[in-house]
Each structure stands twice: as C-alpha cells, then as structure tokens.
C-alpha cells in the first residue's frame, strides 16, 4: 500500500512517498493535477507536467533507481518545483537509454530539469515549471 | 489506481478498438494485448479510437508503434481517431503525427 502523506503548509508543499511501481504513477499525476487545478493553472500546462512526471518516473522505475519515490512538490508564486529524492546512484545507461520519451523532449515541456548528486552517492532530480493562470 | 477500459466493436467490418481512461506504463500492456489479439486473428487493419483517453505517455505510443510494425508486413493499417489536444501534443512532440493517419472521428476514416 502507498504511504501517502499529504501536507499543505503555508508554502503549499505536498510530500508523497509511494512505491516505485507502475501502478502508482497515476497517483502522483492525480495529486499534482488536482492541486494545480485548485490553483487555476491552465489545463494545457497541467497536462505538460503530468506527462513529464509520468515519463521521468517510468524511466526511474525501468532503471530501478529506487524502491520508494520520495517526492516533494512545492507551489510558490506560480512556480512548481518537484524534487525526487533518495534515488540510487546515477546509472546513466539505464536512465538515458530507456524506451521512454528522452530528456530533450521532456525538457521542452518544462522550465528546468536538474539532476544533482545528493548525499551518500544518491541523486536528486528537480523539475521546475512556471505556470500561467486562467 | 487508474485503469483503462477497452471495448471492441465493428464498423463496416473494420474492428474499432475504443480506449477510455489513461494509458501509461501500467495500463499500456492491456492495450497491447487487445491489438495483438486482433492481429493473431489475422485482422491486420483496424481503427483505434483514442477520443476517450484522458492521458497518454510514451508507453502508449510504443504500443501503437509496435502494432503498426506488426500490421505493416501484411499490408494492414492502423487508423487513429483522436481530437484531444493534450493527446495530440505527444504525437507532435515525437513526430508520430506524421507516422499515423489521424482522424477526428470514426466516421471520417476511409473504410
């Protein structure tokens, strides 16, 4: 079962912990889209972010980067930042050569896709997108 | 969990696969299975109606491309019915809008 922790604070942050399994990716899309809709973000831009999230999480599952996704999603002044933490050590071959949409295509849909080395040789991925409102 | 609904009907003896819901890495295998079952029954031309699809990622595209590759050698075809902008967008991003014949409705597909 998913360990779902939804906490909205002053900065409108959502923290999710879900199993890194294909059946749970839709849950992430659902939570993020519902919150953006609540904040009157344009539907087209919500769809772009849903696609980016799905593609990246599918890639990470394919590359077996983690058993549990730890996602921190923050909304502030029209900017959404999604931080995927605690991924295993970077495996470029598995991550870049998977059959899903490539990073170049993903990058066209968002403002920034940043992959950095975290502690203990783990990586963090930061997806950033600035939104327009209805 | 999200799921997809896949129905099969016939229009002028052409099979029409109607897909409803979300097509992603979890649900795409169900669509693949339905396409393959038609091909196994030697039905190499089909219509896939995606107008009921709310979301599709590259997993779904992969299934459709795989189907097209399988019917090609048999001079078959896969016509897509699709007019939802968010789904059309991923076809345009990947250039697959030039690979598939895409129609707005089942009625528009040449039989």
Q: Identify the CATH number of the domain in which residue A90 sits.
A: 3.30.565.10
CB contact under 8 A, B59 and A58: yes
pLDDT range class, residue B30, cuts 50, 70, 90 = very high
CA pair distance A82, A75, nearest whole angstrom: 9
What's the confidence (pLDDT) of residue B99? 93
Q: If you average pLDDT over residues A90-115, what whole number do you get? A: 64
Q: Which H or E element spans position A37?
A: helix A25-38
Residue (of B97, B111, B98) closest to B50 by Cα position = B97
Q: Bridge-partner residues for B4, per DSSP?
A: B21
Structurally, chain A folds into a number of domains equal to: 1
CB contact under 8 A, A100 and B57: yes
- Structural domain that includes position A105: 13-130
- Looking up tokens 């009907």, which residue turns up? B9
In the predicted structure, residue B94 carries a pLDDT above the cut 90: no
CB contact under 8 A, B25 and A26: no
- Inside any domain, residue A4: no
Chain A residues with beta carbon closer than 8 angstroms to that of B90: 51, 101
Q: Which H or E element spans position B49?
A: strand B45-56
Q: Let me know: does A75 contact A126? Beta carbons within 8 Å.
A: no
- The shortest C-alpha distance from B16 to chain A (Å) reads 26
Check if B92 contacts A (Cβ < 8 Å).
no
CB contact under 8 A, B26 and A25: yes
Looking at mean pLDDT, say which of A71-75, A120-124, B102-106 comes out highest.
Answer: B102-106
- Inside any domain, residue A124: yes
- Inside any domain, residue A1: no
Check if B97 contacts A (Cβ < 8 Å).
no
Chain A residues with beta carbon closer than 8 angstroms to that of B94: 101, 105
CA pair distance B102, B29, nearest whole angstrom: 22
Q: Let me know: does B21 contact B2? Beta carbons within 8 Å.
A: yes
Chain B residues with beta carbon closer than 8 angstroms to that of A48: 89
- Inside any domain, residue A103: yes
The two structure tokens encoding residue B18: 């109607």
Which among B24, B62, B89 has the least Cβ separation from residue A25?
B24
pLDDT range class, residue B65, cuts 50, 70, 90 = very high
Residue of B nearest to A47 (CA): B86
- Inside any domain, residue A79: yes
Q: Per-residue DSSP letters for A39-107?
A: TTB-HHHHHHHHHHHHHHHHHHHHTT--SEEEEEEEEETTEEEEEEEEEPSP-HHHHHSSSS--HHHHH
CB contact under 8 A, B93 and A108: yes
- Inside any domain, residue A29: yes
pLDDT tens digits, B14-25: 999 999 999 999
- Inside any domain, residue A6: no
Q: Bridge-partner residues for A82, per DSSP?
A: A73, A127
What's the confidence (pLDDT) of residue B75? 93
Domains of chain B: 4-12+31-108 (3.30.750.24)
Q: Which H or E element spans position B67?
A: helix B58-71
């Amino acid at each position: 079962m998913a360990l779902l922790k939804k906490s909205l604070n002053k900065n409108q942050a959502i923290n999710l912990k879900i199993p890194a399994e294909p059946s749970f990716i839709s849950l992430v899309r659902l939570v993020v889209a519902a919150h953006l809709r609540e904040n009157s973000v344009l539907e087209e831009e919500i769809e772009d972010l849903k696609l980016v999230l799905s593609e990246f999480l599918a890639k990470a599952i394919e590359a077996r980067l983690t058993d549990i996704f730890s996602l921190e999603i923050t909304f502030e002044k029209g900017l959404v930042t999604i931080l995927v933490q605690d991924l295993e050590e970077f495996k470029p071959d598995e991550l870049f050569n998977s059959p899903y949409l490539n990073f170049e295509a993903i990058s066209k849909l968002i403002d920034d896709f940043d992959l950095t080395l975290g502690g203990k040789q783990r990586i963090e991925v930061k997806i950033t997108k600035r939104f327009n409102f209805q | 969990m999200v799921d997809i609904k896949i129905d099969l009907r016939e229009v002028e003896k052409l099979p029409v696969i109607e897909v409803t819901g979300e097509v992603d890495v979890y649900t795409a295998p169900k669509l693949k299975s339905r396409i393959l079952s038609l091909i196994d029954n030697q039905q190499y031309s089909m219509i896939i109606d995606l107008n009921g699809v709310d979301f599709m990622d590259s997993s779904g595209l992969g299934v459709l491309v795989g189907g097209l590759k399988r019917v090609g050698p048999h001079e078959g075809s896969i016509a897509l019915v699709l007019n939802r902008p968010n789904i059309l967008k991923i076809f345009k991003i990947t250039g697959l809008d030039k690979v598939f014949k895409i129609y707005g409705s089942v009625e528009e597909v040449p039989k």
